[in-house]
Structure 1
Amino acid sequence: MSVDAMVAATPATRDRYVDALRVLALAGVIMGHYLMAVVTWAPGENVGFTNILAVEPWTRWMTLVLQVMPLFFAVGGFSHAIAWRSTARRHGGYADFVAARVGRLIRPALVYVGVWMVLGLVIGLLWPEQSAPILQILGQLLWFIGIYLIAAAFAPALLRAHERWGWRALATLVAAAALVDVLRLTEVADGVKWLNFAFVWLAIHQLGFFYADGVHEKLGPKRLGAAMLATGTIAIVLLTTLGPYGISMVSYEGEQLSNLAPPTVVLLAFGVAQAGVALLARDWATRKLERPRTWKAVIVGGSMAMTAFLWHFTALVGVNGLWWWLGPDTSPAGGTAAWWWSKLYLLVPYLGLVAALVLVFRRFERFPTPEIAGPRLWRTLVAALGVACGIVGMIGFAAVGFRGIAELYTVTVVGVPLNSVAACALVVASALLTTLAVRRASVAP
């Protein structure tokens, strides 16, 4: 179906604003990583990487605009609620939901992993010392998919809790996130901090359930948005001025307490405020999205957003590698006028390379929804195992990247040793298991 036909076929009941927010969030990530990356080199030295947030403290305030992942998770909650209810109406089960939702992430990610496993092996053997930090960075963006898979895996159960207990289910997640922070900061049990990768992101994800229920229509999107923005902002101000938290919503080297890795209640408050801003803009944006040209742009962007997200790190490394090869002998210091100017004139080739990679790999984002297989215990167990493999595999890549493939370079993640080969095997297993879970037995004619 052509894009124009898709525009014409869009039902009046579709919430176009949600689609626009999803595209906006991923575009924000792509631009945010570009603006924050500082690449350094000098004669006789290897190429180094750091974050502008670590160099220029004032830029940490920029993360209040550039950090858009909470918005993506809130939108994901809405999408998962709609998808699960639709699956249930068609007499589908957990495996059907997982195959449809997880497949959209695993399939394009598996292509990215496969390409970089081959490239990483070759590059790592040819230039082991020089390439190690670069190859490790190229896997870091997969943390998002790993955490988002947690949200997808628990979405049906949390939606049932939401339908039964309403705001009390959300309050429980918020209280759990706060308790984890207290235990972490008082050093009673520092190891529990990793639980907030689930509690904080699942709480933000839960906001989308309320949107799917139409709470914003009952209370008024502007009234509810203003209340959420005020609540989140007040909480951020109190936590960052009276508490030990910093203002940056993105991690950087040298920070005393990260709000992102693992997440804290500050990031949760930020997610509430950000969702409030989105509600305030909803009526205006919805009117704009009724225009065919605007909606067409959202459809086109949505059809390639995940591919662009997966490959933008590759474009970032490629453009900076070309600059290192053709540019000055010594890189400009991060935060200087020369460095900011470089961001301006490198933007065009960066976006051009992202677009080129999207044209090559976007075909793998087209994922046909499998037929309903129906609820069965064995299907549920296989699907759950598949999601678990995907979560661990993606988090493994986020920690080790594609570094030291031949040598099996290993890091420990929450007590579990992982290397890129094991992470790759887990992602492959995830794709196979989630597909097997909905496989229907062929019927002979």
Structure 2
Amino acid sequence: MVDATPASRDRYADLLRVGSLAGVILGHFFMAAVAMDHAAGTIAVANVLDTQPWARPLTLIFQVMPIFFVVGGFAHATAWRTVRRRGGGYADFIRSRIVRLMRPTLVFVAIGNLVGFFVEASTADDALTGPVLQVAGQLLWFLGIYLIAVGFAPALLTAHDRWGWRVLAALAGAVVLVDVLRLAVGIDGVKWLNFAFVWLAVHQLGFFYADGVADRVGARRLGGTMLGGGAAVLALLAWLGPYSTTMVSYAGEELSNLAPPTVALLVFAVAQAGALLLLRGPATRWLARRRVWATVIVAGSVAMTAFLWHFTALIGVHLVLWAFGTDLSGDPSTASFWWVKLAMLVPFLALVLLLVIVFRFAERPPKPAPPAGPSRGRAVLAAASVVLGIVGLLGFAVTGFRGAGDLYVGHLVGIPITEQVALALVALSYGAAELAVWFRTVRAYPERS
């Protein structure tokens, strides 16, 4: 794969994708403050940010979600234009995206469901096991939000090709309007719309990168402008309030910038993208080295698997400590907490690596198939697969794997949902995406059916 890499490939985008997912994995590890008390028989999970104000400004460095969405916009623009050039349609694009995301995810949730069923069937200690099972699947909210960007990518790219910066301005305006209606007018329910508007606006930045704007304007000039402008607006918003400069949610905060996203997170994403453009030149030269690029290729081929299973590894390390009778204070204000963290990092990463080796098969790219071509019917089925996937993944975000052995009901924006329903929706999403393309394959190649 190293030898076959074309000179035109943007290696920096690959590095940013791998780096953003690695940042999520390490961020979750270091933010977890787990207290274990064998005498009381309790395990309590908290966030370092909950009690340590000094750690909150660090989220300006370690909040990497916007990077993944910017790179996603770049990748989706490239993929959709390739699909159209080969005669494919919306169903072809969605199938390629859904399979890459949902195949490893379906393996993860299926095994999580089995483990949850076994745990709940073999223990009645719901006060201890229930919250752990619930946390184990909550990271899937990220993929649910990302599927929104996947589903809208072709339409927004078409709009981008026609109206350019006006589309980004409209999305940014929608973000501001939602915040005004929520914070100034008091219509709180409208806040959920910014899960779409903010991340779609960040995703739109990737379209400009795919168009080569950084090359035409100059990466340093554009990056400096975005960094300076974004940082200035963020500082102004924090000064005027009620926004803060903390970009990761924590218990007790007056206003979260992440859940749901706010205009502060959007301008932070602009500043972060600008900072990354400033690093593009030296990083690209570094990626020209064979061993460096080979490492990025290997990491990129298993990045989604590592993301999906790192929570399992984090839980597994703590369960091993619990089994050996280890007590943890869970107090991040002490030096001992951080020494224990560093000691746990090696077994944590080793367990992540082991899980990647076991489950990497699910992340292999799908076999190339003849394009099904544009079709309203196939597009509707493909769109349905996206909707099913979004609801299913967000359902796991509220239930996790709790309720696999009994009936635990979570609420997604006020709508009741169970783990079993979420699992069925994820499976149906994968099946609908495959079915949207399969119909054309059967009709065009009856001898293969």
TM-score by length of 1: 0.97
Q: Which amino acid aligns with 2:43?
A: V
2:171 and 2:327 map into 1 onto residues whose CA distance is 51
- What SS is found at the alignment partner of 1:437? helix
> Structure 1 residue 83: deviation in Å?
0.3
Is 2:9 the partner of 1:9? no
Verify the 8 A CA contact 2:120 2:406 in the aligned structure 1: no
Is 2:58 the partner of 1:62? yes
Q: Size of the alignment, in residue pairs?
A: 440
Render the CA deviation track for 1:222-254: whole Å, top value 9, x for unaligned: 000000001111111111121111221111122
Contiguous gaps of at least 5 residues in structure 1: 1-5
1:197 matched residue in structure 2: 195
Is 2:76 the partner of 1:73? no
2:339 matched residue in structure 1: 341
Q: Which amino acid aligns with 2:53?
A: P
1:229 matched residue in structure 2: 227
Is 2:54 the partner of 1:51? no
Render the CA deviation track for 1:299-352: whole Å, top value 9, x for unaligned: 000000000000000000011122233254352523311101011100000000
Verify the 8 A CA contact 2:118 2:405 in the aligned structure 1: no
2:287 and 2:64 map into 1 onto residues whose CA distance is 20
Query: What is the 5 A alignment of 1:33-182?
Result: 33-42=28-37, 43-125=39-121, 126=123, 127-182=125-180
- What SS is found at the alignment partner of 1:438? helix
1:297 and 1:11 map into 2 onto residues whose CA distance is 17
1:258 matched residue in structure 2: 256
Q: Which amino acid aligns with 2:204?
A: Q
Render the CA deviation track for 1:106-153: whole Å, top value 9, x for unaligned: 100000000000001111231322111111111111011101100000
Q: Which amino acid aligns with 2:424?
A: A
Q: Which amino acid aligns with 2:408?
A: Y
1:139 and 1:187 map into 2 onto residues whose CA distance is 35
> Structure 1 residue 444: deviation in Å?
2.6
Verify the 8 A CA contact 2:34 2:328 in the aligned structure 1: no
1:41 and 1:319 map into 2 onto residues whose CA distance is 13
Verify the 8 A CA contact 1:38 1:51 in the aligned structure 2: yes
Render the CA deviation track for 1:254-299: whole Å, top value 9, x for unaligned: 2121111100111111111111111000011111111111100000
1:363 matched residue in structure 2: 361
1:192 and 1:406 map into 2 onto residues whose CA distance is 35
Verify the 8 A CA contact 1:99 1:370 in the aligned structure 2: no
2:433 matched residue in structure 1: 434
Q: Which moved more, 1:283-292 or 1:178-187?
A: 178-187
> Structure 1 residue 189: deviation in Å?
1.2
- What SS is found at the alignment partner of 2:3? helix
- What SS is found at the alignment partner of 1:47? strand
Verify the 8 A CA contact 2:227 2:273 in the aligned structure 1: yes
1:417 matched residue in structure 2: 416
2:218 matched residue in structure 1: 220
1:58 and 1:187 map into 2 onto residues whose CA distance is 33
1:135 and 1:430 map into 2 onto residues whose CA distance is 23
Verify the 8 A CA contact 1:332 1:338 in the aligned structure 2: no
Render the CA deviation track for 1:35-67: whole Å, top value 9, x for unaligned: 000101222142110000001011011111111
- What SS is found at the alignment partner of 1:186? helix
1:345 and 1:327 map into 2 onto residues whose CA distance is 17
- 1:385/1:86 Cα in 2 relative to 1: closer, same or farther (>3 Å)? same
Verify the 8 A CA contact 2:33 2:330 in the aligned structure 1: no
Q: Which moved more, 1:40-49 or 1:60-69?
A: 40-49
> Structure 1 residue 410: deviation in Å?
1.1
- 1:405/1:12 Cα in 2 relative to 1: closer, same or farther (>3 Å)? same
Q: Which amino acid aligns with 1:175?
A: G
Render the CA deviation track for 1:150-178: whole Å, top value 9, x for unaligned: 00000000001111111110000001001
Runs of 4+ aligned structure 1 residues displaced above 6 Å come to none
- What SS is found at the alignment partner of 1:7? coil
Identity among equivalent positions (%) equals 56
Q: Which moved more, 1:108-117 or 1:322-331?
A: 322-331
- What SS is found at the alignment partner of 2:417? strand
Verify the 8 A CA contact 1:128 1:404 in the aligned structure 2: no
Q: Which amino acid aligns with 1:395?
A: L
2:446 matched residue in structure 1: 443
- What SS is found at the alignment partner of 1:246? coil
2:388 and 2:207 map into 1 onto residues whose CA distance is 26
Is 2:394 the partner of 1:398? no
- 1:85/1:413 Cα in 2 relative to 1: closer, same or farther (>3 Å)? same
1:3 matched residue in structure 2: none
1:319 and 1:411 map into 2 onto residues whose CA distance is 27
2:19 matched residue in structure 1: 24
- What SS is found at the alignment partner of 1:107? helix
Contiguous gaps of at least 5 residues in structure 2: none
